[in-house]
Each structure stands twice: as C-alpha cells, then as structure tokens.
Amino acid sequence: MPSHELAKLTLYNMDIIGYSLAGEETVVAMPQLDVCFDIGKAPEQVIHINHLLLTHGHIDHASGIAYYLSHRQFSGQKPGTVLLPAVCLEPVQDLLAVWGRLDGSNIPAKLVPMRAGDEYQIKPNHFVHSFATRHCYGSLGFVVYEQRKKLRPELIGKSGVEIANLKKQGVDVDYTLNIPLVAYPGDTKYIDFTKNELVANSKILIAECTFVEDEHTGRAEAGRHMYVDELVKMLCELNNEHIILTHLSQRTGIGLAKKILREKLPRDVYEKVIILMALKKI
C-alpha cells in the first residue's frame, strides 16, 4: 500500500508520476525511461525505478534516499543507481553508513558522482546529460535524451542494396541524432538555457514554479529560486512542447497560480503548461 498518492499524466506514451510541493517533498518519476528525478520521501511507486537522478541535497528532494536504496534490497531488487552532484557523494556515503549502522545492515548503492556536462548511459539508446543550475553549491539539472541513427539526407531514396554497398566501401551512411525527451532543472534561479540545445528543445520541460505571487519575489531571491517574471521569461525563450510545473509554494493555491500564469504567459505558452499537483492522483 503506497504511503501517499502521486499525480500522474502520460505524454508521448511515457508516464510521469510525482509529488512536488516546495519545502515538503519533490519526486518526479518516468517509469518507461527508468528514471526518477529527486526522491522526496521515497514513495512506494518509485522504488522499482533503477536510476535516481538527484539534483541537490535539500531534504525535501533527498530525504528518501536511504529508504529507496534499502527497500530495493529488502524487496530483492538490484542496487539502485544514483546520479548525484559530485559534492553530494561523500555526505550520501556517510548517510548510508549511518543508516546501515542504525539498521544493522549494509545498504547497497551504485553512487555516480556527476559534474556539469557529464553524461551517463541508462539504456542502449538513452543517455542522461547533466548541466549546472543556480540553486546551491554543485547543484545539477538533467536531460534524458534518445540517440538515434539516421540515414544521411543525401542518401534518402537509394535502395537497400546501394546503401549496403556504400557501407561495404566504408562510407558512413548515417549520422547520430540526439532527441531530448525531458529536461529537469530542479530548483534553480533563472538560467538562460537558449544556448543549451538539449534543454531548449526538450519535448518535455519539468520546471520549478515556486513563487508566482509578485510579493514573493524577495523569498525567491533568498531561497535561490525563480520568481514568476523570470519563469515567464525562461518559458518564452524555450521550444518545449509540454511544460510541467512543480515545487509550488505551499503559500499559494493551485487556482491562484493558474490565474497568475494565465495573465502573465502568452496564450500559446500557457496552453503548454500543466501544474503537476493539479492532476488527478493515483
């Protein structure tokens, strides 16, 4: 029986399940991609996912890490792989050692320290790319992209035999295309992502939307989050097809957040926006 319900939606045949409220808990999983962005309090529904992508060590994003890893062992699953900012490696190792002592067990984990620009293969054709964010020291965001081999445009129309012959002659008949599926910056102040093609062109952007009320601008600054006008600027600069907003402040109701976003965003951008916690829970 899950400890709590998660919001759910499906885009491009990929489920997105999660729970996200600023300061309380943030966990967003995409089971078909086998990734979970942040772990929150480790809800039951995400334990089976093999890759945890941790953006930073704040407790609302990271508190479930020991439970996630330990419960996988308890239920006979292989150790979870945790991609985490390199600065979090040692504290997480210490945390797991302490929990192991308390629990009287050894908590198995595959911890992968990441720095901005690092890549990690999660499936034969799927990779994680990490990028720097502006939230706390060493914090990272992640993009999951699919790599496809495509026939070179000048060869389109040639027969299979002709292409096979070219290959035999050592001609490189195809090129690699990276298709960014989902970008997850996590908590961050505004970043100009227009030069980061993977983020800018990701089909899905899962972004923080902590403070939407103008009078909360000071809080956004203090907590190193975006305030609403920066969020609006960022969303308008990017080409994402779907925008999922997470991490709303508990001070702001979903109805009010929607109203403010509707007023501030151009209509075509607002139509792409989904507030995670406004969705039906499972």
Structure letter (DSSP) for residue 79 = P
Q: How long, in residues, is the chain?
A: 282
Give the residues across from 51 on adjacent strands: 35, 81
Distance in angstroms (rounded) separating the CA atoms of residues 251 and 255? 12
Amino acid at 227: Y
Is residue 38 close enough to count as binding Zn ion by CB under 5 A? no
- Give the pair of three-digit tokens for residue 171: 């001609």
Shortest CB 26 distance to Zn ion, Å: 6
- Sort strands 242-246 and 273-275 into parallel, antiparallel or unpaired: parallel
Measured from the CB of residue 244, what is the shortest distance to Zn ion in angstroms?
Answer: 15
Nearer to Zn ion, 59 or 177 (CB): 59
Whichever of 47 and 187 has its CB closer to Zn ion, that residue is 187
Among 6, 109, 130, 187, binds Zn ion (CB under 5 A): 187
What is the x/- site pattern for Zn ion, positions 50-89, by CB under 5 A? --------x-x-----------------------------
Complex with Zn ion: residue 72 or 225, whichever CB lies closer: 225
Nearer to Zn ion, 59 or 278 (CB): 59
Site size toward Zn ion (CB under 5 A) is 3
What is the smallest separation between the CB atom of 207 and Zn ion, expressed in angstroms? Answer: 12
Indicate the residue among 36 and 181 with the shorter CB distance to Zn ion.
Answer: 36
Pick the stretch among 100-108, 144-152, 179-187, 261-269 that binds Zn ion (CB under 5 A): 179-187
Classify 10 as helix, strand or coil.
Answer: strand
80 vs 223, beta carbon nearer Zn ion = 223
C-alpha dihedral over 244, 247, 253, 256, to 10 degrees? -50
Q: What are phi and psi of 118, to 5 degrees?
A: -70, 150
195: left (phi over 0), alpha (psi -120 to 50) or beta: alpha
Residues at the contact surface with Zn ion, assessed by CB under 5 A = 58, 60, 187
